[in-house]
């Protein structure tokens, strides 16, 4: 939810109230539910056309909300991070996250043979996460795919798949923008591990 969208609602309501006052029209009773049919049934005799015209105030809400919605769609990092935090707490993938990462969805997993697990130093956290992911790959029958841990600054010129903590992902994408990026929060129990393993397994077993 974007709180700023209350502004178009206010503008639309103000426009509607102004038009109703200008035309001196209204309803003779409560229109419930608030559909056009119930509003027409509750309209005073002779006021139907003017009330319909006044209801076009909804267009004001639409016109003013459209650019705000578009702007929010282009900058959904806060919502994406919230979804990932929820997944980390629940320990499983959320349907909400399917709304993100359209670029990643086009990635071809058929030739994946290695996965880079990156962190600042390429030691503690990335080594721990790489071990967890390698076990999941082995269990899924994908032992031919090797997971290696590495410092972000030492990433090879080209990596197929790169996993990193969300706080480091901007640096990873800056260095390797064309790789498949997996952003995690929990090194040990990230639901993204299982999702990645399933994607690779489903493609390579075709």
Catalytic site positions: 119
Give long-range contacts, CB 8 A cutoff, 24+ apart: 169-178.
172/118
How many whole angstroms separate alpha carbon 15 and alpha carbon 11? 6
Before 124, cis peptide (omega within 30)?
no
Q: What are residue 196's DSSP bridge partners?
A: none
With beta carbons less than 8 A apart as the criterion, state whether 172 and 126 touch: no
The first and second tokens of residue 50, run together, are 């003017």
How many whole angstroms separate alpha carbon 25 and alpha carbon 95? 46
The first and second tokens of residue 6, run together, are 């209350």
How many whole angstroms separate alpha carbon 144 and alpha carbon 116? 14
In terms of phi and psi (left: phi > 0; alpha: psi -120 to 50; beta: otherwise), the region of 30 is beta
Place of tokens 């795919």: 145
Helix count and strand count (H, E) for the chain: 9, 4
């Amino acid at each position: 939810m974007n709180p700023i969208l209350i502004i178009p609602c206010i503008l639309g309501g103000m426009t509607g109230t102004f038009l109703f006052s200008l035309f001196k029209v209204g309803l003779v009773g409560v229109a419930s539910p608030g559909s056009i049919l119930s509003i027409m049934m509750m309209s005073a005799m002779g006021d139907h056309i003017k009330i319909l015209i006044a209801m076009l105030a909804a267009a004001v809400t639409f016109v003013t909300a459209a650019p705000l919605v578009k702007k929010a769609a282009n900058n959904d990092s806060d919502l994406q991070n919230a979804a990932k935090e929820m997944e980390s707490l629940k320990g499983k993938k959320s349907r909400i996250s399917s709304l993100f990462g359209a670029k990643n969805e086009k990635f071809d997993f058929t030739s994946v043979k290695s996965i880079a697990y990156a962190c600042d130093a390429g030691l503690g956290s990335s080594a721990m996460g790489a071990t967890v992911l390698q076990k999941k790959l082995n269990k899924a029958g994908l032992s031919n795919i090797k997971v290696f841990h590495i410092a972000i600054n030492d990433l090879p010129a080209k990596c197929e798949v790169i996993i990193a903590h969300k706080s480091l992902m901007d640096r990873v994408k800056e260095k390797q923008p064309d790789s498949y990026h997996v952003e995690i929060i929990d090194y040990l129990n990230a639901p993204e591990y299982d999702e990645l393993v399933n994607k690779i397994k489903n493609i390579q077993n075709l």
